[in-house]
């Protein structure tokens, strides 16, 4: 009897997992440890890119968020009007955006945002725009 109850509970849980994961059809998985971003659409990996996340003394928050807003030619109000092209904001002032500091891609270098090569940032920005903010998820893990 106990095994049946546990099996039923597992099935119910899996149903909710499927609904949750299918809610966003565009997912950017950012790995802080490997400094990469893997972009999946409808469960299929489309891209794997080098990124730069927070350097020592700064934080890239870990968690899972839907994309909140887009800004194609954004400039930072906090960091001396620094360019943040193709910004996809996901948590307050944190965004996935382009960088021109290409030599640092693949290692921590930012104030907390997730930096990409400009071509990759433009591609992700375009995909997010087409798929919609509610259908785009940014997931940051260790």
Angle at Cα 84 formed by Cα 99 and Cα 86, nearest 5°?
A: 90
Phi, psi values for residue 102, rounded to 5°: -65, -30
pLDDT, residue 4, reads 52
Joined together, the tokens standing for residue 61 give 């928050």
| Per-residue model confidence (pLDDT) at position 81 | 87
Cα(37)–Cα(67) distance, rounded to whole angstroms? Answer: 15
pTM (2 decimals)?
Answer: 0.83
Say whether 7 sits in a helix, a strand or coil.
helix
Q: Which pLDDT score is estimated for 41?
A: 97
Return the closest-CA partner of residue 99 out of 31, 53, 33.
53
Digitized pLDDT (tens) for each residue of the chain, 142 residues in all: 545 544 444 444 444 443 344 468 999 999 999 999 999 999 999 999 999 999 999 999 999 999 999 999 999 988 888 999 999 999 999 999 999 999 999 999 999 999 999 999 999 999 999 999 999 999 999 9
Q: Which pLDDT does position 12 carry in this prediction?
A: 42
């Amino acid at each position: 009897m106990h095994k049946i109850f546990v099996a039923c509970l597992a099935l119910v849980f899996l149903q909710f997992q499927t609904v949750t994961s299918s809610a966003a059809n565009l997912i950017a998985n950012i790995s802080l440890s490997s400094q990469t971003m893997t972009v999946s659409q409808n469960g299929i990996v489309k891209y794997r890119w080098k990124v730069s996340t927070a350097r020592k003394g700064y934080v890239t928050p870990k968690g899972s968020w839907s994309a909140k807003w887009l800004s194609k030619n954004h400039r930072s109000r906090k960091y001396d009007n620094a360019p943040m092209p193709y910004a996809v904001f996901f948590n307050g002032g944190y965004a996935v955006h382009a960088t021109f500091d290409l030599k640092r891609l693949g290692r921590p270098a930012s104030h907390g945002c997730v930096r990409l090569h400009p071509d990759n940032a433009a591609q992700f920005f375009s995909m997010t725009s087409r798929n919609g903010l509610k259908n785009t998820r940014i997931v940051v893990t260790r």
